[in-house]
């Protein structure tokens, strides 16, 4: 049986779809559905069991699963970069991850987990997944992910586990993320409501308004790469997962307008003070380590990915992949 935590979340539910497409249905989905609509991400998916996160953690500690688990894909976490409850983040993103990792190590179970590009902080030390020293995350979310990466490395488990530093992932099944949804999703909604897109003004002379850059990667590409990692029983280490090419917010907004056949209309607004001191003006995944591993994948361009997301999902009011 495969355990998929965060199985109703954005990336998790898309990977659940991939598992089903590959004929895998003996799956235990773990999540915390609460009153959110993300339960809809499970519609049409096949899995054997569902457990709330708290119940699952308790059963795991009581060793109720015995030898029934053969792989753990751990995508369950609080992914809010604006969450300020540090105790919550360290329990949910660190302690929970350690519980799972120790269980996997003790029972010789394949373990793949989600890290984040937020661990790189302002990028002054670069975005190489070969360097883990001296990184200074800009928010507690990134800090919680960094702490678990360090725990994995210090425990020597990077030789058997696989960690994935996700960059700016976008695509279907993210509708429930509210303020943490991608700018592709937000831009589409803005265009439909106002005919224009609002982007932040630059907070530095290094970048023009809307010229700040991110490594945007489509969730369909992401799940294909994770699938290859899952299939390779000898694959291990902590890797970046982006396209390796940064693009500006202006590029992204223009791609959404182009997908809709509308002339671009972009306005620039002041960046809120609450995020100005933790804002990443530039990210770009160094993908050389993944290439050296022998895992090769050709990522779709930003324009291709946005067009598929807009025309195959958002325009059809089809939220679920």
| Selected catalytic residue, list 96, 113, 120, 141 | 141
Q: Which two tokens stand for residue 166?
A: 């996700």
CA 220 to each of CA 131, 235, 243, 288: distance values in angstroms, whole numbers, following the listed order: 27, 21, 12, 21
Please compute Rg for the chain using Cα positions.
19
Look at residues 3, 113, 7, 13 and name the one whose alpha carbon lies nearest to residue 65: 3
Q: Are 8 and 20 in contact (CB under 8 A)?
A: no
- For helices 183-194 and 249-260, the axis angle rounded to 10 degrees is 50
Phi/psi at 175 (5° precision)? -55, -25
Q: Which two tokens stand for residue 68?
A: 């029934």
| Selected catalytic residue, list 40, 45, 46, 177 | 177
Q: Detail the DSSP E strand segments found in 1-135.
A: 2-5, 27-31, 49-52, 71-74, 110-116
- In the residue annotation, 213 being an active-site residue is answered as no
Q: Which two tokens stand for residue 83?
A: 């969450």
DSSP string, 15-33: HHHHHHHTT---EEEEE--
Q: How far apart are CA 302 and CA 251, in angstroms?
A: 8
Q: Which two tokens stand for residue 201?
A: 């003004």
Q: How far apart are CA 12 and CA 114, in angstroms?
A: 10
- In the residue annotation, 130 being an active-site residue is answered as no
Q: Which residues pair with 197 in a beta bridge?
A: 266
Residues serving a catalytic function are 141, 177
């Amino acid at each position: 049986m495969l355990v998929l935590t965060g199985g109703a979340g954005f990336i998790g539910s898309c990977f659940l779809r991939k598992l089903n497409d590959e004929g895998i249905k003996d799956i235990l989905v773990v999540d915390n559905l609460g009153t959110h609509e993300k339960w809809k991400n499970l519609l049409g998916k096949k899995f054997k069991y569902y457990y709330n996160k708290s119940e699952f953690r308790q059963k795991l500690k009581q060793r109720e699963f015995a030898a029934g688990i053969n792989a753990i894909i751990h995508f369950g976490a609080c992914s809010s970069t604006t969450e300020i409850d540090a105790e919550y983040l360290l329990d949910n993103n660190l302690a929970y991850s350690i519980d799972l990792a120790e269980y996997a190590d003790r029972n010789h179970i394949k373990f793949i987990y989600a890290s984040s590009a937020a661990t790189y902080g302002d990028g002054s030390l670069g975005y190489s997944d070969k360097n883990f020293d001296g990184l200074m995350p800009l928010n507690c979310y990134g800090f919680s992910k960094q702490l678990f990466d360090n725990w994995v490395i210090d425990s020597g488990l990077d030789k058997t586990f696989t960690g994935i530093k996700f960059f700016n992932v976008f695509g279907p099944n993210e509708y429930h993320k509210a303020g943490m949804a991608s700018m592709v999703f937000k831009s589409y909604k803005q265009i439909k409501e106002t005919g224009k897109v609002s982007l932040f003004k630059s907070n530095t002379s290094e970048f023009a308004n809307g010229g700040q850059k991110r490594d945007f990667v489509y969730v369909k590409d992401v799940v294909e790469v994770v699938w290859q990692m899952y299939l390779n029983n000898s694959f291990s280490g902590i890797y970046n997962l982006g396209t390796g090419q940064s693009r500006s917010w202006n590029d992204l907004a223009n791609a959404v307008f182009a997908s809709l056949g509308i002339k671009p209309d972009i306005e620039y607004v002041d960046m809120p003070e609450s995020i100005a001191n933790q804002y990443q003006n530039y990210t770009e995944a160094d993908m050389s380590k993944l290439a050296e591993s022998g895992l090769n994948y050709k990522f779709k361009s930003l324009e291709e990915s946005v067009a598929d997301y807009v025309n195959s999902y958002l325009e059809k009011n089809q939220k679920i992949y």
